[in-house]
Amino acid sequence: MSAASFLEVQGITKRFGGLTATEEVSFTVKEGEILSIIGPNGAGKSTLFNCITGFYRPDAGKVLFRGKDITTASAHKICKLGIARTFQIVQVISDMTVLENVMTGTYLRTYDRRKVREKAVEILRFAGLHEKMDFPGTDITIADKKRLEVAMALGTEPTLLMLDEAMAGLTPVELREMIALIRKVRENGVTLIIVEHVMEAVMELSDRVVVINSGRKIVEGSPKDIVRNPEVIQAYLGDRYSAGN
């Protein structure tokens, strides 16, 4: 029971020219929970995501990780501190095998080539990619690539894993597998923040949900509460539907 929260996001604001992509967004994340960030397209979720992970520098606000201010820290340092991320458009290293991709991740914490390889193999087993270990990174299905991305991130031994639309473009079967994988990751002691559109995953996995619209946080709560919240419905479906529900 430490006083400092695991992750604290305070008043994050980010502007691009005249457009305010993210405005005064604040929330906290408890250790061990799965928090989802949802919102309509263009709401500013990715911008927020990038501000937290050090890819953008916010114009105002703070990000505190275990009490440490990481607002202006560079992206690679944030990864070293224990926050790993995936990308909206899946990125794997093309001229490497699946195993080598994960090794690139595990190399962050060890230099010993044998250990690096062993850890990577373990992670591949965990992620269900063990059989495809020697396939070229580009030669696997999109669903496997997404798993690979998760595996690569896990290689860096994060305490917080942030997923950017990991469920997009998956078939129903693949979706279930991914949900199972995320659950396993949490069971292994990793806190998760997931930015998602696929509601099934949000409902199943989240302990709490934060809803963003037009750059602002409009509400925060359990999945059940969020789904009934009139403001949320209005944000997604427009005025015509909110009154009727």
Partner 1 sequence: MRNPTVRQIAFCAVLLVALLVFPLVVHGTFPTHVMIMVFLFAMMGVAWNILGGYAAMFSFGQVAFFGIGAYTSTILLMNYNVNPWIGLVAGGVLAALMGAAIGIPCSNLRGHYFAIASIAFAEIVRIHFNNWKFVAAAEGLSLPLLPESLRNFMFHSSKVPYYYIILVFLLLSVLICRYISTNRMGFYLRAIKESHELAKGMGISFVRYRLYAIMISAFLTAMAGTFYAQYILYIDPDSVLILPISVQVVLVAMLGGAGTIIGPVIGAAILLPLSEITRVWLGYKGTGIDMMIYGALIMVISAYRPEGVWGLLTTIGRRGK
Interaction site with partner 1 (CB under 8 A): 53-55, 74-77, 79-80, 84-87, 91-96, 100, 103-105, 107-108, 111, 113, 116, 152-153, 155-156
Cα separation, 14 vs 57, whole angstroms: 8
Within 8 A by CB and 6+ apart from 110, the residues are: 116, 119
User: Nearest distance from residue 109's CB to partner 1, in Å?
Assistant: 9
Closest approach, Cβ 53 to partner 1, in A, equals 7
116 vs 232 by CB, closer to partner 1: 116
Taking the complex as a whole, the smallest distance from the CB of residue 88 to partner 1 amounts, in Å, to 11
What are the residues facing 213 on neighbouring strands? Answer: 216
The tokens describing 140, both together, are: 């696997």
The distance of closest approach from Cβ of residue 56 to partner 1 in the complex, given in angstroms and rounded to an integer, is 12
User: Given the DSSP bridges, would you call strands 160-164 and 83-85 parallel, antiparallel or unpaired?
Assistant: parallel
Return the beta strands (E) in the chain as ranges. 7-16, 19-29, 34-38, 60-65, 68-69, 83-85, 160-164, 191-195, 208-213, 216-221
Residue among 98 and 226 whose Cβ is closer to partner 1: 98
- Residue 48 gets the label, from left (phi > 0), alpha (psi -120 to 50) or beta, of alpha
Nearer to partner 1, 36 or 106 (CB): 106
Least Å distance, CB 92 to partner 1, is: 8
Nearer of residues 80 and 186 to partner 1, judged by Cβ: 80
Give the nearer residue to partner 1 in terms of CB position, either 55 or 236. Answer: 55
Quote the CA–CA distance of 151 and 90 in Å, as a whole number. 13
